[in-house]
Each structure stands twice: as C-alpha cells, then as structure tokens.
Amino acid sequence: MSAVQQCLRQLQADFALSAAQLAAIVDAFLHDMEEGINGRPSSLAMLPSFLTKPDGSEKGVFLALDFGGTNVRVLLAELTGKGKYTILARHNVLLADRRKGYDYTSSSATAADLFGFLADQLALIASPDKTYLLGHTFSFPCRQTGINESFLLYWTKEIQTAGVEGQNIAELLRQALSSRSLFHIHPVAIANDTVSALMAAAYQDVCADIGSICGTGHNTCYLDAFAHTQPMYINIEAGNFDKLPGNRYDTLLDKASSRPGAAILEKCCSGRYIGELLRLVLVDMIRQEVLFSGSCPLFLQNEHRLTGKDVAVLQYAADKPDQTAAWLASHNCQLISTAADQQLLQSAAKLIAGRSARLAAATYAAVLKRIDPSLDYRHTIAIDGSLYEKLPGYADAVAATLQELLGSKSEQVKCILAKDGSGIGAAIAAATTQAITHSCVRSTVPVAHM
C-alpha cells in the first residue's frame, strides 16, 4: 500500500462516522437533553426562550437586528399575515474590518463600543419620524429570564468583546439606543438565532417545530410542549454537546481555541472551525511528506487561514484541477499540485464536510425522538446558515443521514432552508409581543408604519 493510500485510509478512520457511531450519538444527545431540561448536570443547557409558535396572523412593520458571528444584519420587514412578508430594507456589515480599522470582536473592544455600533446600523434604516418595535437575534449562549431579558453566559465563535459576559443584552442595546437619542426604536424581544429561524419557518408552516443553524456557529432549538406551563421554544445550545468520537485534529483545534473543552460539537461541525480542521489535516499530510512533497506553503502555517469556502472549493480538487490551481494562486502560493495531491485535498475536504452534516443530522434525530418517539406526526426542520445553504452536498448529506437513522419514518420529516430566517424571525418575535408592548408605545404608533 502506498503512503498516499495509507493516508487516505487514516483520514477515513478519523472522520467517517459509522451507523453504530451515529446511533450512539443520538442516544447520548437525547440523554443530555433529558438531563438538561430537568435541571441536572448536562452538556446541553436547554434554555427557555419564553417565545412560542406564531399563528401566522401577525402583521405590521418591524425592525430586526441579527447579530450572530462575523456579520451584523439589520432588516425592516413588513408582515402581511398568512405567512407572508416583505423585506423593505436591509443592511449588512462586518463586525471586524481590517481595511476600515475596526474590530468589535476583539478583547480591546468594549460593550459600549459593540452595542453602539449595532445601534448605529439600526439608525441607517429606521426613519426618525416613525416608531418601531425591534426583535433582536443574539446567537450566543444566554440565560433568558423573559422575552426581552437575556444574560450572556459566555462568548463563542472566538469573540472576546470585553464587558458583555454576564450582562443583560437587551439592556446594553437599550443604553446604546438611548445614548444616540434613538427613542423611536423599542427593543421588545430577544432570541437565539435558532429560535428566530424556527419562528420564521413556523409563520409559514404549521409543521415547523425544529430550528437549526449550520453556519459560522452550530445550534438547534425545538418546540417543547411539556417542559413548561405552555409550549415554548427551547434553545438546546447543541454546539456544546461533548460526547463525540473525536480525533487528533479535533484535540489540536480544541487546545488552541479560546475555550478548551467547550463547544465540542460546534468545533467539529461549524463553519467557524471546519476550515481550521482542514488546515490541520493538510499540515499533517505535508509533515508526512504525502502532500506537496512535504513543502508547506506559508498560508497553511497560519491558524484559521482556511474557511468553509476553502472546504467547498477543495471538495472538487481531483475533479477540477484548474480550480485547485486557482485556489492555490488565490492564497499567493506557487506550488503545482499533482493528481495525488488533488485526491488528498478532495478527500480531506469531503470527509470533514460530510462529518459535519452527519453530526448535525444525528442531533436532529435525537430531538425528533424526544418530541415524537414514534414519528406519528409530520415535522419540518428549518435550517439557516452558510454550510446548509452553500456548501455543496451538505443539505443532501443531512437528508441522507436522517433517512439512514429514521428508516421509512424519515418520510415524516422535511428539512428546509430558512433563508434569512434569523433576521425575519426576529421581526416575527417582535410581532408576537404586540399585545404586551402596545401600551408602552401607543402614544406614538403601535407598529412601525402607521
């Protein structure tokens, strides 16, 4: 057996998940869900959202703020009922932009800096002569004590902004709006991005009861009819699940992260980390002198230089050599790849992407097992995020893995792309609070475009 063949066999052993391993993950995830929902020690926080299913009749114009990772998105959305809506305006901006000289994700940035920046983005699309209810998607682990009270437990996705952990996110935003005299913007609901994505889907589809993000981060929520006095969306904080068959690359990535030992599932499958996993694999193959004749390009020597986009490109490395050459050139690398190099690059990318999709699907199977053990009813899983939307083969791999785990009952389950879900869902969350918040703003207007 050649060195290349041995390397490919080892990659398969490191990243492929057998049916038995998937079944064990389903059982372990379900166990941690049960422990967490009952307040016992668990890797899964099972956090209440205090939000429940929209009925599809919500109407009005609402602001939405979506803060989830690398970008901030602000939307102005009109809900017209019966599951229909129109996005009237939108604005996207990076949280860190070296060319413009700012980084609101670093430890040198303060809470006032970050939330002031968020308020400034809202001001760009909020007319000063109108009053708006605002829904805020905040995609990090929080202890929620009410619809509009949410305390950050800890940052994930390598964000390190100072002075935010332990604070009430809604209050930080209110202070930022007040300091800029943006008194016509009223934050009324805060939700995890999974909850927002699910609310967006449920506004249109009565069967939507599981929401997930497969993008920069990874998490899932679901509608729980039993854990509280009324049906409520539960934010699982699935990315923190830790009972997984990891490999040496997972260990290396975890040790170098800002929170070693935490967010184990997220580090195995999210867009924030799969590029780094790929880099670690490629560097190891170079060290073994099976890739690039043992010559390590400069760009592979820097942590987190690769992203999910690199994983997407290299899934075709052996099928499209010209594309591989262009990929190397885009990283200012003059190396010429051989057919063997291209096969190794493609195999590594496909295995890492495939494992991500299969892990996500296994957790969905566990959630289904909790809410409908016999799968007697139809369920829609609403998934938002760049991996599910843009990574070739990812959505198909999720569906195939669910079929593998659920058998003929998989016909009861449908996965959909919740495009812009975490944004439009925040607007819908705000709409569901109208009856509660109406009295707070009736001296102006109850909803935004009166």
CB 164 within 8 Å of CB 92: no
For the stretch 206-228, pLDDT in tens is: 999 999 999 988 999 999 988 77
Instruction: Specify the pLDDT at position 448.
Output: 34
The tokens of 16 are what?
A: 């492929």
CA 225 to chain centre: 24
Helix (H, G, I), strand (E, B) or coil at 364: helix
By C-alpha distance, which of 348, 365, 352 is closest to 401? 365
pLDDT digits (tens, 9 = 90+) for 322-350: 999 999 999 999 999 999 999 999 999 99
Query: In sequence order, what are the residues at sequence separation of 6 or more whose Cβ sits closer than 8 angstroms to the Cβ of residue 237?
Result: 44, 45, 46, 47, 141, 219
The answer to whether 150 and 169 have CB atoms below 8 angstroms apart is yes
The per-residue DSSP string of 181-243 comes to T-TTEEEEEEE-HHHHHHHHHHTT-TTEEEEEEESSSEEEEEEESSSSSS-EEEE--GGG---
Residue 435 has a pLDDT of 52
Domains and CATH numbers, the chain: 3-44+209-417 (3.40.367.20), 59-191+420-442 (3.30.420.40)
Residue closest to 82 by CA, chosen among 231, 223, 211, 205: 205
> Is residue 18 exposed (0-12), middle (13-18) or buried (19+ Cβ within 10 Å)?
exposed
Q: 103: helix, coil or strand?
A: strand
Positions of the chain with pLDDT under 70 = 435-450
Angle at which helices 169-179 and 111-123 pack, to 10 degrees? 60
Residue 446's pLDDT is 33
pTM (2 d.p.): 0.88
Query: Which of 223, 235, 214, 238 lies closest to 397, judged by CA?
Result: 214
Q: Side by side, which strands form the sheet with 132-138?
A: 84-94, 71-81, 59-67, 132-138, 185-191
